[in-house]
Copies of this chain bind each other. A is one copy, B any other.
């Protein structure tokens, strides 16, 4: 058994329980049981529950960034890069429903609130994917291919719909396929382009 096996088991158990039942349905005892370890073991790998919850969130952010950067190069045409990211995020979420649900729960929980409070400084350089978007938008605005709006708004316009669409797909209110994904990405582009 690898050294950090139990750590992984705990993260995975947390992901599943929170995604499926919310934080409300994921007390430490349940997480430990789901991971097949004792409750006390949690505290050998994480200082406390908050740390476990937050580390899992950071891990998931990393996974997204990694997935997005696959096949993404600064040499690609601007529009193509934009569509790559938008579709990438959407595809990541609909193929990772647990991860999506976890991140959503996280954002709207005391954990997410505290996380934002603690990470507000240096938010753009947190090593996540923020810098990618920032770089993209800066260039797009400079080249006058997208609207001249604050980055935050450009981000909202591009990804607000993606989050919403992903949720409805995962909840079963819509069944996305390659064609629809393409149409959605194009609509997001329409929203930004000049």
Contact = CB atoms under 8 A, between A and B. Distances in A.
Interface string A66-93: 0000000000000000000000000000
A162 B156 CA distance: 8
A93 to B, nearest CB: 13
A97 interface: no
B187 A25 contact: no
A147 B188 CA distance: 12
A145 interface: no
A152 B168 contact: yes
A184 B147 CA distance: 10
A8 to B, nearest CB: 24
Interface residues of A, number: 40
A36 interface: no
Given A108-B104, A187-B147, A157 B161 contact: yes
A184 B161 CA distance: 13
Contacts of A142: none
User: Which of A116, A171, A173, A187 has the most chain B CB within a 10 Å cutoff?
Assistant: A187
A113 to B, nearest CB: 6
Q: Enumerate the 5 nearest inter-chain pairs by beta-carbon distance, A residue then B residue, closest first.
A: A160-B164, A108-B108, A160-B161, A191-B191, A156-B164
Given A22-B109, A147-B183, A153-B168, 20 more contacts: A24-B110, A105-B108, A107-B108, A108-B108, A116-B171, A149-B180, A149-B183, A150-B174, A153-B180, A153-B183, A153-B184, A156-B161, A157-B187, A157-B191, A160-B165, A161-B161, A161-B191, A190-B190, A190-B193, A191-B191
Interface of A: 21-22, 24-25, 104-105, 107-110, 113, 116, 147, 149-150, 152-153, 155-157, 159-165, 168, 171, 173-174, 180, 183-184, 187-188, 190-193
